[in-house]
Amino acid sequence: MAAGFGVAALGLFGPTDPALTGPWRGRGESIRPDGVPSTVRYRRTDDRWMRQLSVDMVLNRLEQIPMTPRTLWLGSGSPQRRAMLREAGFLARARPPHLDDGRLAPGDVGPEGWTLALACWKARAVAESLRAEGARGVVLAGDTVCTHQGAVLGKPRDRDHARRMLRSFRGATHPVVTGVCLIDLDHQDEQAFVDVAHVQWGSVSDEAIETYLDSNNWVGRAGGYNLADRINDGWDIQCKGDPATVMGLPLRRLTPMLEQMALSTLEKGSR
């Protein structure tokens, strides 16, 4: 779990339960590792309770509890982004914006401005629909593009388009740009930023590319590939910067922002 998140932000980004508030917030009951509530209370500085639990045990327990109005809304249908958040310690609910950005073109806008504009467009669309429902929490949306040889490359249209993208990357370095927008529904705050990582490709054979194309894992991915998958598969690829930026969420910068928003919400909500 992200540093400090389990202590400070559990009440915002994920379901809450009185049985879970004892060790983290100094009141209520605690739960034993078997999930049974216990009336035994520990002080905040007493970590005996926490030592009995694994991260998976806590997350599995939380996912069994209904969501509260305060939650982290992911403005995307991407299973990868949601999985990345979970691995970083954040439970999120998917809320795709249902906007068709495939027909849009950046025109004279650079990749950083383009991804930032799309991320904010998605986040604001989701925030508007959630406000209409009276929902609370924080909306997170992002957009990722590759840039190469002066062109902005989004998701490949088809197999041939993906093949051309992948072949063009060989023996070169290309930037990957991810724009992020966060909207706090409770306090009308909005924050946005862009992060850039550089991916260096070595030699990748045509045969390896064709085998990869057969898997269809290129579908829906900016630049037609997933960085971690290709590195794990032995491709000669290196990343300078945050690898998570290439995969769709710049967690090095995003994690402390989410934690701070969670702390801010808890502090404001307790006044």
Q: What is the pLDDT of residues 250-261, one digit of tens each?
A: 999 999 999 888
3-class SS of residue 30: strand
Residues in the chain where the model's pLDDT stays below 70: 1-53, 55, 58-70, 101-107, 263-271
The residues that bridge with 177 in the sheet, in sequence order, are 145, 196
Find the catalytic residue in 46, 100, 143, 214.
143
Please list the alpha-helical segments (H only) found in 146-225: 159-169, 206-215
Q: Determine how β-strand 136-148 pairs with β-strand 70-74.
A: parallel
User: Residue 264 to residues 88, 186, 208: CA-CA distances in angstroms?
Assistant: 19, 11, 48
pLDDT (0 to 100) of residue 33: 42
Instruction: Indicate yes or no: pTM above 0.85.
Output: no
242 is catalytic: no
Quote the tokens at residue 112: 């950083």
On whether the CB atoms of residues 115 and 145 are closer than 8 A, the answer is: yes
CATH node for 69-269: 3.90.950.10
249 within 8 A of 195, measured Cβ to Cβ: no
For residue 23, what pLDDT is reported? 33
- Cβ contacts of 80 within 8 Å, gap of 6 or more: 226, 247, 248
Tell me what percent of the chain is helix, strand and coil, each rounded to the nearest 5. 40, 20, 40
Cite the residue boundaries of each domain of the chain with CATH code 3.90.950.10. 69-269
The answer for residues whose C-beta is within 8 angstroms of residue 28's C-beta and 6 or more apart is 18, 19, 20, 21, 22
Specify the pLDDT at position 61: 63
CA angle 27, 30, 31 (to 5 degrees): 160
| Rg of the chain in Å (alpha carbons) | 21
At a CB cut-off of 8 Å and minimum separation 6, what does 55 contact? 1, 89
CA distances from 55 to 6, 7, 38, 112, 210 (A): 10, 13, 19, 35, 39
The pair phi, psi for residue 237, each rounded to 5°, is -135, 140
Residue (of 59, 23, 56) closest to 38 by Cα position: 23
The one-letter code for the residue type at 242 is D
Express each pLDDT in 92-133 by its tens digit: 999 999 877 666 666 677 899 999 999 999 999 999 999 999
26: tokens are 């100094």
